[in-house]
Structure 1
Amino acid sequence: MSEENNINNEGGLLIVSEDACKAVIDRTSAFSAVENVFAAMSHGDAYNFPVIREAIGYADALYGFKSGFDRAGKTLGLKSGGYWPGNAAKGLTNHQSTIFLFDPDNGKLRALVGGNYLTAVRTAAASAVSIAHLARKDSKVLGMVGAGHQSTFQLRAALEQRSFEKVVAWNKNKERLKNLQAVAEELGVPFEAVEREQLCAEADVIITITSAFEPLLMKEWIKPGTHLACMGTDTKGKQEVDADLMSAATVFTDEVAQSISLGETQHAIASGTIKEEAIITIGDVINGKHAGRTSDDEITIFDGTGVGLQDLAIASVAVKLAVEKGEAQHISL
């Protein structure tokens, strides 16, 4: 019997703090957790419940719940949290969340897990999975649109997927690009701050990670063969790229239902630019049900909406590793 099961049988509660998550979860474990859960979703072994995400009418905050159940991994739970845009000025992370894991056999609360760091690394892992499976093998220039808290996580994860020789980046507040430049220089990759049109002209892979409510990248700017990982749109009304771009691309996502309701494809669906049946899950590519990229000229888009199962998968791994490494707190109930 595992130590974790012993704790559960004692009726206790595990607490895995933000610091503990940072101590036990790295990019490799995050990539594996996210890739595996995308594959499980494609097989029908895991499913997400409807998302609740609303403006609370206070502090300009967005708050909500993402939840689901992975039958294969026996993982049941939810992530509660949201986005507080004023937090940065207070020295806090704008994204605040906590993950709750329950025992699927009896419904008892099993663990409370800090969700801020895990949200950043699982979001970066999702775009990295899309690059691994969809970007051209000879991709040399990485484009970054957005320089907020999650952008450095995105940059580090993306640079591990291809032999990138340069990073080009744009952000509305150019001062914040220094964070990305520091990471690129640390990893020995040349960095240049550019305007959006030049970024699209140079980049073979583009990651968008903003909170925009209007398109930042236009269809006519994107060159053939580009892979875009659109990671910022997770709420109704948000938008990072031109809806017309979808008709020129092959579109992939983490979950179709979430993509068309609150992801990047919501606008393309509403305008009739694409049809729902044209959207492919990244899990189908991972499982070999879809070929993924079929030519070097094909534009591919990954609409990373951030499904609850990603959070549950990485939190479950964090709990397991925290118990093994003595980083978890146990409270007797």
Structure 2
Amino acid sequence: MSVPVLSREAVLAAVSPQDAYTAVRNAFVAHHRGEWVMQPKVYVTNYPAGDFRAMPALGGGHALLKWVTSFPGNPALGLPTVTGLVVLSNAETGQLEAILDAASVTALRTAAAGVLAADTLEREGSSSVAVVGCGVNGAETVRMLVAHGRTPVVWDVDAQRRIAAAQLGAEEAESLRHALGCDVVITVTPGSTVLFPEGSLRPGQHISLMGADGPGKAEIATAELGRAHLFCDDWEQASHGGELAAAVAAGIVERSDVTQLGGVLAGEAQGRRNDEDVTLFDSTGLAIQDLAIARAALFRSVELDLPRVEL
């Protein structure tokens, strides 16, 4: 038996931003309805260097396991922050069907989730949108926004990354403060620095927090979470390893305070309440999102000339 091996370039060629957006949206709804299932990600930590994550999921006739890393100090060594593999199997027979680069799958689903949450929760008439953090996942978020007809402003501490992101169809923000003041802000940083201090959110904003996907990470002050209408990708995962975790531990946020995005997309939960609402989406990254991207790539792989491995 031989299976296709999808490199970063092959994954990005197989799955367009529009395809990724649709696939991840459908995955959120399927997960909400119990049709796609997953367990919270398992962390194998080697802090302060970084961590390894094992992420399984089942749905749509397939099973997936993603083994992926997050080592924030790697760029200084000339290495990527995220590396790993996605293994996709047939759920009925257990046969391996594809091996995919994890970093590209992660970038596509991260971008899709952040933009999808913004589209779903932003105030009607919102005009300005910013992406803060222009690494691999941030750049993919820019690419997805541009594919949806929006022109984001971008900010990164690294001027070269800002320039590279602008070349994707964005504009460089005048400053970090300028970016954080936009109607919609999607943060895609390593989560090592608080971007929104206490009292900084303004009425009507929507914030998609994509960077704080593990213990000890935060892009917003814990106290500020109490001022926002809160949403997450998965409560079980977010309450233990996401932006919400510190607020839950401090007693600021309870389960009843947080709505899962899948419920809103399925039409079974309320989204934004009014124009003054500050909506905040905490993304921890779900294996069902990876499954959606991997399946989309597999279906297109028959059209691509891809290397295969014999098993």
Using the size of structure 2 for normalisation, the TM-score is 0.92
For 1:22 and 1:174, the matched residues in 2 are separated by 25
Q: Does 1:278 align with 2:261?
A: no
Q: Does 1:179 align with 2:164?
A: yes
Deviation at residue 33 of structure 1 after TM alignment: 0.9
Instruction: Output the amino acid matched with 1:44.
Output: G
User: 3-state SS of the aligned residue for 1:39?
Assistant: helix
In the alignment, what sits opposite 1:45? 35
Runs of 4+ more than 6 Å apart: none
Structure 1 pair 15–148 and aligned structure 2 pair: CA distance change class (3 A): closer
Contact 2:155 2:172 in 1 (8 A): no
Using the size of structure 1 for normalisation, the TM-score is 0.86
In the alignment, what sits opposite 2:100? 113
For 2:14 and 2:54, the matched residues in 1 are separated by 25
For 1:182 and 1:286, the matched residues in 2 are separated by 32
Q: Where do 1:261-276 residues align within 5 Å? A: 261-276=240-255
Structure 1 pair 104–57 and aligned structure 2 pair: CA distance change class (3 A): same
Structure 1 pair 320–225 and aligned structure 2 pair: CA distance change class (3 A): same
Alpha-carbon RMSD across the aligned residues, in angstroms, is 2.1
In the alignment, what sits opposite 1:62? 51
User: 3-state SS of the aligned residue for 2:124?
Assistant: coil
Deviation at residue 331 of structure 1 after TM alignment: 4.0
Contact 1:230 1:303 in 2 (8 A): yes
Contact 2:122 2:205 in 1 (8 A): yes
Instruction: Output the amino acid matched with 1:311.
Output: D
Structure 1 pair 231–316 and aligned structure 2 pair: CA distance change class (3 A): same
Instruction: Output the amino acid matched with 2:172.
Output: F
Deviation at residue 207 of structure 1 after TM alignment: 1.0
In the alignment, what sits opposite 1:193? 174
| Larger Rg, first or second structure (1 or 2) | 1
For 2:6 and 2:250, the matched residues in 1 are separated by 44
For 1:143 and 1:293, the matched residues in 2 are separated by 19
- Listed one character per residue, the Cα deviations across residues 71-106 of structure 1 (whole Å, up to 9, x for unaligned) are xx1121110111233443454432112100122113
For 2:5 and 2:171, the matched residues in 1 are separated by 41
Q: Which runs of 5+ in 1 are unaligned?
A: 1-10
Determine what percentage of the aligned residue pairs are the same residue: 28
Instruction: Specify which of 85, 91, 96 is matched with residue 104 of structure 1.
Output: 91
Structure 1 pair 149–13 and aligned structure 2 pair: CA distance change class (3 A): closer
Q: Which runs of 5+ in 2 are unaligned?
A: none
Deviation at residue 329 of structure 1 after TM alignment: 3.6
In the alignment, what sits opposite 1:326? 304
Structure 1 pair 329–270 and aligned structure 2 pair: CA distance change class (3 A): same
Instruction: Output the amino acid matched with 1:238.
Output: K
For 2:238 and 2:72, the matched residues in 1 are separated by 23
Structure 1 pair 84–327 and aligned structure 2 pair: CA distance change class (3 A): farther
- Listed one character per residue, the Cα deviations across residues 19-76 of structure 1 (whole Å, up to 9, x for unaligned) are 2212211101100110000000111111211311232369x23212111112xx1121
Contact 1:177 1:193 in 2 (8 A): no
Count residues with an aligned counterpart. 311
In the alignment, what sits opposite 2:19? 29
Contact 2:163 2:172 in 1 (8 A): no
Contact 1:84 1:94 in 2 (8 A): yes
